[in-house]
Structure 1
């Protein structure tokens, strides 16, 4: 099971119609694009999928569609994290019958728990969740860092199998890589740092860019995993302009501007997010023409 999480996971965007309902036709088109690009697995309803703005019923409908459309072609991870421990446990019971490789669980936001609170939260989830857990540390969104020592402690739980690290702190990532138990996986949560984190011993990445350039990014990741650093560094440098464009107007607005330029889906995002500008869409159009 852990082997399925090695390489490139794609944090799937959620295409939307003008009335903010899910555009399932475009979602199928996006999945086909990712599969054709040889990404290794799909992450449904992470931050890139605009998970905070969908109801639980919406999330399950999206997950059901993805699983049916993929029909076993790629492993699927589902996002279920947040700051209400008992509510997450209750929701997790609805996932028992879904064929999932793991659950991606973002650390508690807004509450700003202590490290002890984070440990208790995740241990309770791990005891209850019907699938293995990938921890997700993203302090820029949660206002709370999961320290390396906390990750290593949580890694002792048999149902906690990986950490998606998006702190941007390479020293923290290195400490996890050096101190983790055998078999616990370190995954980059930042596209631009994937090369560095894999090179220090990480097993892969959960990416945004994989929605739009799955083949190019997967080639870079695979070269890094294989130890062909000369090739990987060259490919990574070629992608730097894309990393920058994906951050220009925030995620996933910037991503959906690129997806519109590729005619995969419209740039529509659900409030309180706002659609990308015409300027950025045109920038993507010109990039793909070049």
Structure 2
């Protein structure tokens, strides 16, 4: 079980939208240096929606090679087609991924029974530890706790990234799943409270710009150091809010460019952060001592 700060890694790009492999190495190395517990490759933050099939797998393979077994790699392999999700998951496993992250099918809005059958089919087909990912604000599809409870006994389904920010739902999940089933936050602003409820960590956007701070935040929460954890969370809150002034990963990629980590490349239909938000994001970076 992974415990701690798992970065939802951006996919750096050149101005023309091509993947910037050199910058990808640079940001992976940053996380290896600063205590990130695992790297999530090609999730929402990694622009999975605009990478084509081959690019998707190439980025996963590149991250796995760069990490070289030093920390786990969690490959984003979800899709709104069960067949495609199975194939992506199988190929990620064959490439050496340690876990897969499977978002609920987006756009086609399956029923709860459809969600159960979707995730069961993937888990039956591919023998790799799988983390479910519930983010209804992005997918238009909300997997209810009762559906999660139907899936937790499958040996290949080992956790969930719960990105609703609903702490009551998080508490309900944590209290009703087996001890070896991990509940992770997918919402930086409420992550420490989920960890203090008994969650195992945070799959984080903020960790892209503040890897050491997010690793420390999760450590404090997991150790039950409530006052210190909440004090650090208060310091980081400007980032947790300003990195979402436009759709993720628009603000975080701009922030990383401001820090000199990556270029400004991002793929349509996403665009570079609007000028009106530059100072807000820049001030958040300054408040946290990052620039």
- TM-score between the two structures when normalised by the length of structure 2: 0.94
- Partner residue in 1 for 2:252: 255
When the two chains are superposed, the root-mean-square deviation of aligned CA atoms in Å is 1.4
Indicate yes or no: 2:127 matched with 1:130.
yes
DSSP-derived class of the 1:48 partner = coil
Which residue of structure 1 lines up, in the alignment, with residue 261 of structure 2? 264
Would the alpha carbon gap of residues 213 and 61 (structure 1) be closer, same or farther in structure 2, given more than 3 Å must change?
Answer: same
Aligned length: 287
Asked if the contact 1:104–1:135 (Cα under 8 Å) also holds between the matched residues in 2, the reply is yes
Equivalent residue in structure 2 for 1:12, among 9, 13, 25: 9
Residue pairs, 1:13-92, within 5 angstroms: 13-92=10-89
**Which of residues 71, 92, 111 in structure 2 aligns to 1:114?**
111
Distance apart, 1:77 and its partner CA? 0.6
In structure 1, stretches of 5+ residues that fail to align are none
Correspondences of 1:269-284 after superposition (within 5 Å) = 269-284=266-281
Residue 142 of structure 2: aligned partner? 145
Conserved 8 A contact 1:163-1:186:
yes
Q: Distance in 2 between matches of 1:94 and 1:101?
A: 12
Per-residue deviation, residues 24-60 of structure 1 (Å, max 9, x unmatched): 1111111122222211100000000000111111012
- Given candidates 149, 165, 168, the residue that maps to 1:168 is 165
1:224 to 221, 236, 260: 221
**Is the 2:75–2:92 Cα contact (8 Å) retained in structure 1?**
no
1:282 offset after TM fit, Å?
Answer: 4.6
Does the CA-based 8 Å contact 2:42-2:48 persist in structure 1? yes
Relative distance call for 1:286 and 1:236 in structure 2 (3 A) is: closer
- 8 A Cα contact 1:195 1:232, kept in partner: yes
